[in-house]
């Protein structure tokens, strides 16, 4: 189901005065490096992410009134840091992990790219709250 169809369904079922919230990964996908594309991007919910402003515009386009738009990019950055620390710890285990070392190295590369994308403002996390008039 396309995002526009889904937003339209949400707008129809929410009661007048009722609110909806959308919280998700946000991205300027055209500015992300290749390692944040493909399967890795699908797994990390990046592949279909959109800028926060587009989510707000989508909800407005189906007749909802946007009340709040909040970027919480720092929260995503903190999560990436925690993932990176776990990957570093796993890498230190080295030989105990057998054939996983190459996968851990790949995950560390993806994590480093995600960290840099958050710092550039190309990847983030946000919340949009809208109400039905």
What is the CATH number for 94? 3.40.50.150
> Which domain, by its residues, includes 44?
3-132
What is the total count of domains within the chain?
Answer: 1
Tell me: the pLDDT tens digits for 8-20? 999 999 999 999 9
> What does pTM read for this prediction?
0.84
Tell me: the pLDDT tens digits for 34-87? 989 888 788 888 888 999 999 999 999 999 999 999 999 999 999 999 999 999
In order, the DSSP letters of 7-56 are HHHHHHHSPTT-EEEEEEEEE-GGGS-GGGSHHHHHHTT-TT-B-HHHHH
Higher pLDDT, 1 or 23: 23
Q: Which residues pair with 71 in a beta bridge?
A: 126
From the centroid of its chain, how far is CA 63? 24
Tell me: the pLDDT tens digits for 73-123? 999 999 999 999 999 888 887 656 666 777 888 888 999 999 999 999 999
Provide the pLDDT for residue 114.
Answer: 94
């Amino acid at each position: 189901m396309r995002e526009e169809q889904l937003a339209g369904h949400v707008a129809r079922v929410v009661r007048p005065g009722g609110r909806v919230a959308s919280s998700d990964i946000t991205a300027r996908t055209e500015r992300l490096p290749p390692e944040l594309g493909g399967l890795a991007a699908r797994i990390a919910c990046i592949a279909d992410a959109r800028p926060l402003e587009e989510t707000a515009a989508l909800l407005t386009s189906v007749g909802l009134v946007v009340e709040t738009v909040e970027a919480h990019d720092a929260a995503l950055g903190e999560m990436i840091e925690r993932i990176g620390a776990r990957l570093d710890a796993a890498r230190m285990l080295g030989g105990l992990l057998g054939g996983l070392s190459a996968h851990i190295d790949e995950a560390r590369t993806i994590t480093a790219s995600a960290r840099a994308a958050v710092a550039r403002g190309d990847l983030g996390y946000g919340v949009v709250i809208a109400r039905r008039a």
